[in-house]
Chain A
Amino acid sequence: MKILAAIVPALLAAQEAPPPAEAPSEEPPAAVLGRAPELVEFVPAEYPPEAEAAGVQGSVLLSIVVDEEGGVRQAVVLDPGPHEAFAAAALHAVQQFVFRPAEIDGAPAAVEIEYRYDFVLRRPEPPPAPADAPIALLGRVLERGTRTPIAAATVESQGAVAETDAEGRFTLRGVAPGEVFVRVLSTEHEPIAFEETIEEGRAREVEYRLRRRRYDPFEAVVRGERPREEVTVHSLSTEEVRTMSGTQGDTLRVVQNLPGVARAPFGIGLLVVRGSEPNETVVYVDGVPIPLLFHLGFFTSVVNSDVIDTIDFFPGNFGPRFGRALGGTVELKTREPRREWHGAAQVDVLDGRIEVEGPAGPGSFYGAFRRSWLDGALAVVLPRVAPDAANDLRVAPRYYDYQAKLSLPVLGGVGTVFAYGSDDLLTFVQDEDRPGRPTFHLSTLFHRGGLSWRKPLGALTNDLVLAAGRDSFDVLQGSAFGLLTEIQTVSLRDAVSGQLARGLTFEAGVDALLRRLEYSVYAAPPESPGTAGDEFTETPTTVSEEDAGWWLAPALHARLDWSPAPSLRLSGGLRFDAERRLGRTKTWLDPRLSLHWDLHPRTTLYAGASLHGSTPEPAETSPTFGNPGLDPERAAHLALGIRQELPFGARLEATAFYKRLWSLVVPTLSVDGDGLPLRYSNEGRGRGFGLELLLRRELAKGLYGWLAWTWSRAERIGDPSVSPHGWQLFPLDQTHVLALLLSYRLPGDWVLGTRLRAVSGNPITPFEGHFLDADTGRVQCLPGARLSERLPTFFQADARLDRRFVFDAWMLTAYLDVLNVTNRENAEFRFRSWDCSETVPLPSIPIFPTFGLRAEW
């Protein structure tokens, strides 16, 4: 048997990647991967003699960095394959490869690709069938489950051989009539044999379906190494985190386990980033801001995981294209629809979802919809087990969301029409409630629709996103409080990017919002001059305000990236924000700087310094309940870190950060020149510092996941009139946040995962007595030193098991995700005795299993 080395015929990554412009990547959205790298000079590896002697075949998975000139800058073994000698042989060979370099934004650029080098024992070459031999067998070879055509598969029978084309089609000639065995081989798939009956003079038409060795879609990942300005960005592929433990089928929850993010109580969907309030972090979907990330702030995310391609999380120092945030930024990038008909459906204990996609003229589309079950389930169950509660709970937690996208080639570019939205509702009604003032009512909805267009303009690329939408947020709490808001938004983003010269690229654009805000509010009146304050009163008297107005917030941003040497990248940017609201105009200018320095091909030092601004919440500028004269809130972010590539596809990042906040909007007792209360001032300040470590192994065979540890301290100080105690801990300050997420792919399409978390307890204020509020009859606690103690350390272990079943035309995945498998009682808050002399912890979520089914076709 003659033996030689062979490779997969072409570059896997380039072949199987989604359309380049939308490839899952760590690059910023403005970057356009115009051309994937192409292997032009292949160097065969020597088949290791000991593996040859043992008859071992297999593949080595490598990560290769192809530089701007097509050379191999770096090659790392991700999976050494079944024989210990394969890795060294493959490494030696690929380091001699020559590529045609990739192009990003029209210019040669370094990219990282995954490459599999297959070692195959070659069989003796069969004699070629005569070209005029009769066709015995013709058909297609498809992949089981996904129905994807398999190219370059070998179909062989009685010594006759044929190879499938890009559509998976083949024609086999020269097979004698009678009962024959047909073998189909593909490097990606398990070999299979069929018995066929060949009739004289008749071509038999067949369709074969091969089972993929591993149903990982991750081998086709192309990661752009385009220089980027953000010093810290955590990019997550949806497929990478879909099976992570603790997500309960919702990939966005994984963001809460990244460095710099504090643990949210009860696992609710708050993002507390580097000591910033949750509302100081902004979420974008394809560049369009959305008002919330999770349904009712607690349940699943408002964007179906099926349509998300990547999640980019910036805990700080984000580039000038992002603004209006003091904390972090989350950008969800939706994927491109496929041109073949596919779909997915998923059900679990909370909701059901469905997604369909396929061709649409010259383009493609998808549509996805999800709705919760809870209201229907409670409507059936509650009247039987708790009739009184059923009467009060007129609408149980109900949410739905939808996403639709149509991509078409338009005017030499790629045009997209998109629509997405979310609607949440929760209502409790009691018989004695006054009209329009239910016991509790919460409604949050948003809809967005728009167009995007990406087009190369010579050496430049233009990205345009125009969207319009509607937000509504209503919360009513009996007679005491009600807020009804309605916001219409038009957002425009346009950015031009390109290369000015070798090593010099730029991006400049506009990011504008036009909003019409209409609101109506009733609430207990804020403190009047001379009154004792309403801190602990319960008054049935309310005051009201309703108003409407326009709110224009244009911003210009520009960034210049300069690479004076191959190992050094400098980025400088400016963002100019303006906002006109309630007849007042505020402006601010934010410089953003960053540096990336490759100390070694596998070691990068990075640093960033930037200013950020954000405007007050609408309620804070209300003439009745707030202060219309408030200024923007400001923050400075500093970061310094190092990234080290490790063997086996692992990476270690260490980032030290410092954050300073000022001009924060905080309550005040101060009055204006007329002696009237200001209610809010810009006297708040904040500061925080910390160290973040991330050890991450990205998707490959076997084990993947990450270990994240954050050590930090965050403090705030309020207006001197109400906070005379100086700097105090941030209420969600957590000194240590440790999260270990691991998943392991077992043979037979099983995935086993776990999440372990250990987090310092949140600060609490001890009680030093009590008094009776004689106007309400309630007993109030007297606080001791503010936030001077902590709840006990939080520790929780979660586990998850996935099993995929592959059928001919579809696949079914079942998963069991169990939160808190040890049923440990972690303290989230405190119950106090009526006189504040004793407290007991309010425990977090007990053991909570979630079972789900997911079908894909």
Chain B
Amino acid sequence: MRRLAPLALLLAACSTDFAPQYRVEDLRILAVRSLVPASGSADAAPGETLVLEALVANPLDRALLPVRWFLCPPPPPGEIPACLDPDLLGDPAALAAHPSVVELPSGPTTTFTVPGGPEVAAAIALAVDLATRNPSFACRLYVELPVVAVAEAEGERDVAVKRVRIVPPAPSLPPALAGAYLTNLNPSVERIYRDPVDEDLCLQGTPLAGGSPFPVEAAVLCGLPSAPGGPYNECGPAGERTEVREFHFWQWYVDGGEFPDFDGIGNAAGDAVDFERPAGAFTLWAILRDGRGGVDWRQIDFTAPPPP
């Protein structure tokens, strides 16, 4: 299903000559995932161990420094967290020096215990109070914990912000609020295919594997999740719950080749996309998102095709 292609064509009509967003030409963070190893959840409760992982693309093989991680506990009501302050996001040194910022261990992944201190407890208490007063908020009963990832290599730098959802422990919730917010699990990429017979469902295609040349000049790429989108609730004005399924959303990146429908502004996105391979070796990144902060990805490295 290439439903977004018309929109992409519309945007492409605004000819800009900008490099397309899908082409990774230098150091970039493409995604950040949060994971509670014990449960596979993307959301965490205070006191749980959480792993953050960054997908860093480095097509020029620069000497990559360990990814730096910063955590901002919820600030007092009425203040912007330092991790979301645009002035600090442009200056990681200033961010690191900010008194409210906690620097986590560096590396492609970092593991830490979700804080449960007074700031988080107060924020959770306020969120519960708000949802109690207005049941419409019950389906959004979590506190966001902003985290900043900074990748640096030979003077190049890229920054990403992720907001980890901290959920209150279920036993602490009033009965009327329990079960309204469903903890989010990260989606999972089953496989990436080319030229599927059914583009909408990504069925009966040829699986793509790395370590070999991309087999054809042009193809339709699609991704297959391991499972359909998970459920979550939406709350009406009186707190009435409607179960909704997550909508899976694919983003595509390469360091060579073209997604011809996406030469305008914006990501190359969609369940199935047209692709034209480059002459040499290249890497393909397919990123799967569930719209609620959950993410998974697949990276496939293709070698150069043999000379004709």
CB within 8 Å of B: which residues of A? Answer: 386, 388-389, 430, 432, 525, 528-533, 535, 537-546, 623-624, 668-671, 674-677, 721-722, 768-779, 782-783, 831-834, 838, 840, 842
Contacts and interface: CB of A to CB of B under 8 A. Distances in A.
A838 B20 CA distance: 12
B149 A774 contact: yes
Contacts of B28: 772
A833 B86 CA distance: 18
Contacts of A538: 291
B161 interface: yes
B161 A772 contact: yes
B223 to A, nearest CB: 14
Contact of B130 (A388, A529, A772): A529
Contacts of A770: 159
Given A771-B159, A777-B267, A531 B77 contact: no
Contact of A721 (B14, B79, B119, B120): B79
Interface stretch (B105-113, B136-144, B203-211, B214-222): B136-144
Given A540-B246, A840-B16, A842-B14, A532 B89 contact: no
A570 to B, nearest CB: 48
A545 B83 contact: no
Nearest to A773: B161
Contacts of A842: 14
Given A537-B163, A774-B31, 17 more contacts: A528-B137, A530-B122, A530-B143, A539-B291, A540-B232, A540-B246, A543-B137, A544-B237, A670-B77, A675-B129, A769-B89, A772-B31, A772-B160, A774-B162, A775-B293, A782-B86, A840-B18
Please name the 4 residue pairs, one residue from A and one from B, whose CB atoms are nearest each other, closest first: A530-B123, A834-B21, A529-B126, A774-B32
A535 B21 contact: no
A533 B80 contact: yes
Contact of A541 (B14, B129, B234): B234
B237 A546 contact: yes
Which of A388, A432, A543, A768 is most buried by chain B, counting CB atoms within 10 A of its CB? A543
B146 interface: yes
B98 interface: no
Nearest to B121: A530
Contacts of A676: 126, 129-130, 133
Interface string B79-93: 111011010011000
A543 B291 CA distance: 16
A530 B136 contact: no
For chain B, which range describes its interface: under 10, 10 to 19, 20 to 34, or 35 or more residues?
Answer: 35 or more
B74 interface: yes
A772 B29 contact: yes
A528 B119 CA distance: 14
A588 B133 CA distance: 32
Contacts of A675: 77, 126, 129
A833 B144 CA distance: 29
Contacts of B146: 532
Contact of A543 (B78, B161, B235): B235
8 contacts: A525-B140, A529-B127, A529-B130, A543-B235, A546-B237, A772-B28, A772-B161, A775-B293
B51 to A, nearest CB: 14
Contacts of A432: 3
Contacts of B21: 779, 834
A400 B17 CA distance: 41
A772 B287 CA distance: 14
Interface of B: 3, 6, 14, 16-21, 28-32, 72, 74-75, 77-81, 83-84, 86, 89-90, 119-120, 122-124, 126-127, 129-130, 133-134, 136-137, 139-140, 142-146, 149, 158-163, 232, 234-237, 244, 246-247, 249, 251, 265-267, 287, 289, 291-293, 295
A543 B90 contact: no
Given A540-B232, A774-B31, A775-B163, A669 B140 contact: no
Nearest to B26: A835
A721 B78 contact: yes
A544 B16 contact: no
Nearest to A541: B140
A624 B136 contact: yes
B161 A539 contact: no
A543 B239 CA distance: 9
B143 A783 contact: no
B80 A669 contact: yes
B139 to A, nearest CB: 6
A832 to B, nearest CB: 8
A782 B246 CA distance: 30
A783 B86 CA distance: 7
A535 B161 CA distance: 12
Contacts of A546: 237
Contacts of A783: 86
A838 B16 CA distance: 10
Contacts of A671: 77-78
A777 B137 CA distance: 25
Contacts of A669: 77-80
B84 to A, nearest CB: 6
A545 B90 contact: no
B127 A528 contact: yes
Nearest to A432: B3
A162 B29 CA distance: 95
Contacts of A833: 16, 18-19, 265
Given A543-B235, A544-B136, A775 B162 contact: yes
Contacts of A388: 6
Contact of A544 (B124, B158, B235): B235
A545 B237 contact: yes
A517 B146 CA distance: 39
B140, B143, B265, B267 — most chain A CB neighbours (10 Å): B140
Contact of B74 (A531, A541, A623, A776): A531
Contact of B144 (A531, A776, A777, A831): A531
B89 A771 contact: yes
A525 B137 contact: yes
A662 to B, nearest CB: 21
Most interface-central of B6, B17, B144, B244 (chain A CB within 10 A):
B144
Given A675-B126, A831-B14, A831-B265, A530 B140 contact: no
A535 B30 CA distance: 20
Contacts of A677: 77, 130
Contacts of B20: 834
Nearest to A434: B244
Contacts of B130: 528-529, 676-677
A628 to B, nearest CB: 13
B232 A541 contact: yes
Nearest to B1: A432
Given A530-B74, A670-B78, A834-B266, A772 B159 contact: yes
A670 B249 CA distance: 35
B126 A778 contact: no
A564 B224 CA distance: 86
B124 A530 contact: yes
A531 B53 CA distance: 22
Contacts of B163: 532, 537, 775
Contacts of A539: 140, 291-292
B255 to A, nearest CB: 15
A831 B57 CA distance: 25
Contacts of A782: 86, 89-90
A775 B249 CA distance: 12
A150 B269 CA distance: 72
Greatest chain B CB density within 10 A among A531, A779, A840 is at A531
Nearest to B141: A528
B286 to A, nearest CB: 12
Contacts of A533: 80-81, 84, 144
Nearest to B236: A544
